[in-house]
Every structure is written in structure tokens, then in C-alpha cells.
Amino acid sequence: MHVLILGGTAEARSLAESLAAGTHPGLRVTSSLAGRVSTPRLPPGEVRVGGFGGAEGLARWLSEHAVDAVVDATHPFAGTISSNAASAAAITGVPLLALRRPGWTPVAGDVWHATGSLEEAAGLLPALGRRVFLTTGRLGLAAFAALDDLWFLVRSVDAPQAPAPARMEVLLDRGPFTLRGERELLRRHAVDVVVTKDSGGEATAPKLTAAREAGLPVVVIRRPPVPSGVPVVPGPEAAAAWLDERLHRGAFPDPGGP
């Protein structure tokens, strides 16, 4: 049995770890990373890095490597690879599951402005503040590049490249982040508005609490939808259970069978 995990998230690593822990004997697990991060946290087991060459390239890869199931555990905002995975599954007939950590929901005291895109978020900012904590990643900074009157604190794993805002300080870091650290960051930089994707999960949620405590508005970019027809689970345990169920149901071809 060969499972391909499309990764780049903590959940993908956690699934690879649990499958590698010996709970699924005979299961071959390959994790795939896009190669965006210079020093990625690697999951156990086989790892391949780099794009497949679109949906057809991925379909070819699945066939050539005799993949029996795909778990799309990519980031909720990695919409292209998720759409490619759905197309490749349709082309090859290989079962596909999407692992998506649940999104965040506002609680009392939150001042959230939901938007559909980075561009829409940029359009809202001048009315909300002057000193922006921008946590949407180093790719996509172009959407904010024309906002010359605003100052940006950009936090990203690797250094951003142009086009980017003219008035910007870069903080190279990656989660998990603490509430204490986030409070201090907002205070030290006199941030008055925060921008985030609705990434969900605990690792980067403390900024939302810190913003709520400080009474700051947060611009939250909504997720793209999971491709229609693809079953979705919220975490690695449920993904492992889906694989178990298929293994026990004999939904994968039996390599020793006729």
C-alpha cells in the first residue's frame, strides 16, 4: 500500500509520524513538499520535494509510483495543489481525502473584518490603521505594495522579495507563537491593525487573542473552498482512520490478490 501525503503543514507531518510509528505495517508513506521553505521541517519516511507539473503531472506521478491513496494535507490556502489533487484523483481513480484543520471563529470582543482576498484586505487597511502586523506570508506582499502611507511588520519564514510595501520591517520567524510573545510584539511595534489568513490551528492563534485584548481590528482572509466532492477531515487522527477504514474494507487493490 502506498499513500501520498501532500504536505507543508504540521498536520501532514503529524500524520506521517503516526503512520511511520508502526501502527500501519506494510504501508509505504511518501510526503510531498512544494520546496518553498529553505529549511523545511521534514516528516519521517520518504520525502519528495518540488512540483509535479500540474494536475496531469501529479496524475502521472500517482500512476508511476503505484499510489493507492492521496491525503491532501496542504495548507488551507494552497488552493492550486488541492485543485490539482482533485483533478488527478478524478483522472486516475485514486481515492483522495482532504485534511483541513478547522478555521478560526470570532469570540466576544473580537473586531474582525472578513475579506475574500489579499487585494480586498489591502483595500480595507487605510480605514483601519497605520501600523500593520501582516502575517499572510511572504508571497502575496505585492497586494500591499502600493500602500505607501502605512507601515508594515511582515512576519514570514523566509525573507520576502519585491514587490513589497516600501515601509516595512521583516521578522523572520515561524510558529508556534506564544500569547506573551504576541502581546509584546504588538506593543513594541505599536501595531494598530492585524492581517491574517484564516489558517486555523493553535500554533498561530495567539495573535488573535493578543489583538482582542488590545482592542485591535483584525482583517481575516477567508479560505478558498475544498474542491467539491472531496471528503474532508479535520485532523491527522481522522485521516489515519480514513486510511484504516479503506485498508480494512479492501478498498485498495490487494497486491497479493489475483
Contacting ligand NAP within 180-219 (CB under 6 A): 197
For residue 220, state whether it binds ligand NAP (rule: CB under 6 A): no
CB of 107 to ligand NAP, least distance (A): 23
Comparison of 122 and 192: residue with beta carbon closer to ligand NAP? 122
Q: What residues numbered 84-113 form the site for ligand NAP, per CB under 6 A?
A: 84
| x/- map, 7-26, ligand NAP, by CB under 6 A | xxx-----------------
Residue 81 found at the interface with ligand NAP (CB under 6 A): yes
For residue 188, give the C-alpha cell: 513594541
Total residues at interface with ligand NAP (CB under 6 A): 24
Residue at shortest CB range from ligand NAP: 51
Q: Which of residues 112-141 bind ligand NAP (CB under 6 A)?
A: 137
If the CB atoms of residues 18 and 196 are measured against ligand NAP, the closer one turns out to be: 196
Residue 97 forms beta bridges with which residues? Answer: 71
DSSP the chain: -EEEEE-SSHHHHHHHHHIIIIISTT-EEEEEE-S-SSSPPPPSSEEEES--SHHHHHHHHHHHTT--EEEE---TT-HHHHHHHHHHHHHH---EEEE-PPPP---TT-EEEEESSHHHHHHHGGGT-SEEEE-S-STTGGGGTT-TTSEEEEEESS---SS--SSEEEEE--S---HHHHHHHHHHTT--EEEEE---SSTTTHHHHHHHHHT-EEEEEPPPPPPTT--EESSHHHHHHHHHHHHHHT-S--TT--
Phi/psi-derived region of residue 201, left when phi > 0, alpha when psi is between -120 and 50, beta in every other case: left
Site string for ligand NAP, 27-66 (x = CB under 6 A): -----xxx-x--------------xxxx--xx--------
Q: One-letter amino acid identity for 50?
A: G
Least Cα distance to 129 among 179, 203, 213, 190 occurs for 190
Nearer to ligand NAP, 11 or 182 (CB): 11
Minimal distance, residue 61 CB to ligand NAP, in Å: 9
Q: Which is nearer to ligand NAP, 64 or 254 (CB)?
A: 64
Nearer to ligand NAP, 118 or 193 (CB): 118
Contacting range for ligand NAP; rule: CB under 6 A; set: 3-11, 22-30, 101-109, 116-124: 3-11
Side chain identity at residue 177, one-letter code: F
Part of the chain binding ligand NAP (CB under 6 A), chosen from 4-12, 20-28, 143-151, 238-246: 4-12
Stretch that binds ligand NAP, among 69-77, 143-151, 237-245, 250-258 (CB under 6 A): 69-77
Which residues bind to ligand NAP, rule: CB under 6 A? 6-9, 32-34, 36, 51-54, 57-58, 74-75, 77-81, 84, 137, 197
